[in-house]
Amino acid sequence: MQTLKLNPQFKKGTDGKPVGVYLTIQEFNNIIEDLEELADIEAVEAYNKNTIKELMPFEKALDEIKQERSELHHTD
């Protein structure tokens, strides 16, 4: 994501207060792309936050899986 260079032109109402803004199509598309990229980043961060919190060595994980399978077979 890069810094956006915008040259907005503001539209004012009859009272002189801003009521709208004009952007070029390129400026608008750049904003949309940046918003989509930010949404992707937020989705990845949310996913990472909700995934496995504790890492363990491969061998220990394998032992736990074997133990769980063994327990399942003994309860049948």
Residue reference for tokens 């994501």? 1
Q: Report which residue type is found at 70.
A: S
pTM of the shown model: 0.55
Q: In this structure, which amino acid lies at residue 20? A: G
| pLDDT by 10s per residue, the chain, length 76 | 678 789 999 999 999 999 999 999 999 999 999 999 999 999 988 887 777 667 788 999 899 989 988 888 775 5
* Structure token digits, residue 47: 């996913």
